[in-house]
Amino acid sequence: MKKHAITLTVNGEDRDLVVSSNRTLLDALRDDLGFTDTKYGCGTGECGACTVLVDGTTAINGCLTLAATMNGKSITTAAGLARSGNLHPVQQAFIDNDAIQCGFCTPGMVLKTISLLDENPKPTEAEIRHGLEGNICRCTGYTKIVEAVQDASRRMSGAGE
Amino acid sequence: MTSRVMRDFDLLLPESVAEVLDLLATHKNKAAILAGGTDLLVALKFNYSVDNVISLALVPGLNGLSFDPVQGLTIGAKVTIADILKSKVVKEHYPALWQAAKVFATPQLRNTATVLGNILRASPAGDCSLALYACGGSLTLKSKRGSRQVNLDDFWISYGLTARRDDELAMALQVPAPVRGQKSAFRRMTRTKEDLSKINAAVSLQMEGDVCMSARVAMGCVGPTLLRLPKIEKMMKGSAVTDGLLQKISDQVAAEISPIDDKRSSAEYRNKVAGVLVKRVIALALNGKGNDQ
């Protein structure tokens, strides 16, 4: 099987690696580069646990992307969101609103929320639920997650953020 | 199954259409084309294997989504569902397609899945492909032997099988420009919102006042391929669309389809709701009402 030498910019840092043809972006991030904050859920693009942001805030499923097709791309995972020791406002909003139980869906939820708020800084509840349709949470029942997104929306549109 | 690993294959990364066509001519049915990958990679994790995967990632010139009042809409091979949703032109002139894109899968999948991929998948449950079937269109298929157009009406042969030949690349879909009085809509029913359709319907109607001059009526999940309903189309052609006509149409739909029992629904249920769904999608096309999706 063919091997491919690629460079991914992960959370701002260039990483060179050699991947086989069938390596997914998720496998490369978790197993080759150690970004285990990106989770393996279903492997078929339904649960959103493997969500990462590509070239800005476009959210995709790492499990349905071949690593070798991502050469030169910039990838953001949840581990790359904090700035000088401060959590991203979306991360802080998830904590402050108790939107985390087991935490497995949280990295994907947080990244998808960032993507959603970038496109639509003040979403309605219906827009939030539509925007997070690709992220499954088996603990919370979603209410607190929706509240966290609303809170993050307020924090990020407020002064000083 | 906790960890799904794809079988071995060689990933090929051509940088031009000409290179893609060379590779297709060489590998033929030993190659699959990867655009968005949201269907192909899932298949590769389950029951499908292929020696070569030809990625379009580095191929330029396939991203075009353009509208011309005479030529209509051109959708390039790499245009994603998210691109459709962002297009004001699609929303205005092809509401059925826009409505299908809105409810298509999940946001992450919409960012990578392509419109042409949805057509090429030849699923009887496709959403964007169904909307486009109602709107009508033709695919440009290109190989080293030349280029040809295949109308969507002739494209789907059976489940998962299309008129595309092994050495052909689907370059673009051309959708006719809307004529005066053209209305279209898409509706579907699902178990949960992000699930695949258990039944879906799309119409494109050419209206003069209350009278329907011509109609294309299409349904999904009710046969081995997406289906047009020619008897319903005939009932509508030249008729005023009244409540009485809608009821007659609704009563006739079940006789036009052949759904099966599967994990998303039963044949009995699909037969029961199909007529109501068609009635509602016509109403949505005509007055914009009933879009609660």
Structure confidence by residue, pLDDT tens digits, B73-95: 999 999 999 999 999 999 999 99
Let me know whether B76 and B170 are in one domain.
yes
Let me know whether B107 and B23 are in one domain.
no
Residue B246 lies inside a defined structural domain of this protein: yes
- Domain limits for position B124: 65-175
CB atoms B41 and A64 under 8 Å: yes
For residue B158 the two structure tokens come to 């059976």
Domain C-terminal end among B147, B175, B203? B175
Q: What type of residue sits at position B6?
A: M
| Most B-contacting residue of A18, A19, A22, A55 (CB-CB within 10 A), to test interface | A22
The beta strands (E) that lie in chain B are given as 10-12, 31-34, 52-55, 65-68, 72-76, 138-143, 146-151, 156-158, 161-162, 169-175, 182-189, 199-208, 211-220, 227-228, 239-240
Distance from CA of B245 to the nearest CA of A (A): 35
* Inter-CA distances, B145 with B20, B91, B169, Å: 13, 36, 11
Rounded to an integer, the average pLDDT of B168-188 is 97
| Most B-contacting residue of A61, A71, A73 (CB-CB within 10 A), to test interface | A61
pLDDT at B10: 97
The residue whose two tokens read 């298929």 is: B141
Q: What is the CATH number of the domain that holds B17?
A: 3.30.43
Which band of pLDDT confidence, cut at 50, 70 and 90, is reported for residue B12?
Answer: very high
More reliable by pLDDT, B28 or B192: B28
Q: Which residue of A has its CA nearest to B42?
A: A44
Q: Which long-range contacts (CB under 8 A, 24 or more apart) does B152-157 make?
A: B152/B119, B153/B228, B155/B119, B155/B122, B156/B122, B156/B225, B156/B226, B157/B122, B157/B225
B34 bridge partner residues: B55
Let me know whether B78 and B137 are in one domain.
yes
Rounded to an integer, the average pLDDT of B218-245 is 97
Rounded to an integer, the average pLDDT of B109-121 is 98
Residue B263 lies inside a defined structural domain of this protein: yes
Contact in structure between A153 and A136 (CB atoms under 8 Å): no
Rounded to an integer, the average pLDDT of A101-121 is 98
Lowest mean pLDDT across A4-8, B22-26, B192-196: B192-196
Let me know whether B146 and B105 are in one domain.
yes
Q: Is the pLDDT of residue B2 over 70?
A: no
Residue B293 lies inside a defined structural domain of this protein: no
Q: Out of B5, B44, B111, whose CB is closest to A59?
A: B111
Residue B2 lies inside a defined structural domain of this protein: no
Of B126, B103, B99, nearest in space to B115 by CA: B126
> Domains of chain A by range and CATH?
3-79 (3.10.20.30), 89-157 (1.10.150.120)
Write the burial class of residue B130 (CB in 10 Å: 0-12 exposed, 13-18 middle, 19+ buried).
buried
pLDDT in tens, A113-147: 999 999 999 999 999 999 999 999 999 999 999 99
| Most B-contacting residue of A1, A64, A127 (CB-CB within 10 A), to test interface | A64
When divided into structural domains, chain B yields a total of 3
Q: Is the pLDDT of residue B227 over 70?
A: yes
CB atoms B8 and A112 under 8 Å: no
Q: What residues of A are in contact with residue B6 (Cβ under 8 Å)? A: 22, 24
A24/B contact by beta carbon, under 8 A: yes
Domain C-terminal end among B141, B175, B209? B175
Q: Is the pLDDT of residue B202 over 60?
A: yes
Residue B86 lies inside a defined structural domain of this protein: yes
Let me know whether B71 and B170 are in one domain.
yes
Q: Is the pLDDT of residue A104 over 80?
A: yes
pLDDT at B5: 82
CB atoms A115 and B107 under 8 Å: yes
Pairing of strands A3-10, A74-76: parallel
* Helix, strand counts (H, E) of chain B: 11, 15
Q: What is the CATH number of the domain that holds B266?
A: 3.30.390.50
A120/B contact by beta carbon, under 8 A: no
Contact in structure between A75 and A25 (CB atoms under 8 Å): yes
Let me know whether B45 and B118 are in one domain.
no
Please report, rounded to a whole number, the percentage of residues in chain A having pLDDT higher than 70: 98
Q: Name the DSSP class of B80.
A: B
pLDDT at A1: 74
Residue B1 lies inside a defined structural domain of this protein: no
Residue B4 lies inside a defined structural domain of this protein: no
Distance from CA of B251 to the nearest CA of A (A): 34
A51/B contact by beta carbon, under 8 A: yes
A21/B contact by beta carbon, under 8 A: yes
Q: Out of A22, A45, A48, whose CB is closest to B8?
A: A22
Q: Is the pLDDT of residue A161 over 60?
A: no
Let me know whether B230 and B282 are in one domain.
yes
Let me know whether B168 and B187 are in one domain.
no
Let me know whether B72 and B40 are in one domain.
no
How many Å separate Cα B75 from the centre of its chain?
Answer: 12
CB atoms B38 and A43 under 8 Å: no
Pairing of strands B65-68, B182-189: unpaired
Let me know whether B117 and B18 are in one domain.
no
Rounded to an integer, the average pLDDT of A16-35 is 97
* Inter-CA distances, B205 with A60, A101, B51, B153, B202, Å: 36, 50, 44, 17, 10
Contact in structure between B40 and B114 (CB atoms under 8 Å): no
Let me know whether B107 and B156 are in one domain.
yes
CA gap B182, B283 in Å, rounded: 14
Q: What is the CATH number of the domain that holds B114?
A: 3.30.465.10
Residue B5 lies inside a defined structural domain of this protein: no
Let me know whether B126 and B147 are in one domain.
yes
Q: What residues of A are in contact with residue B44 (Cβ under 8 Å)? A: 22
User: Residue A105: which residues within 8 A CB-CB, separation 6 or more?
Assistant: A39, A41, A47, A48, A49, A135, A136, A137, A138, A139
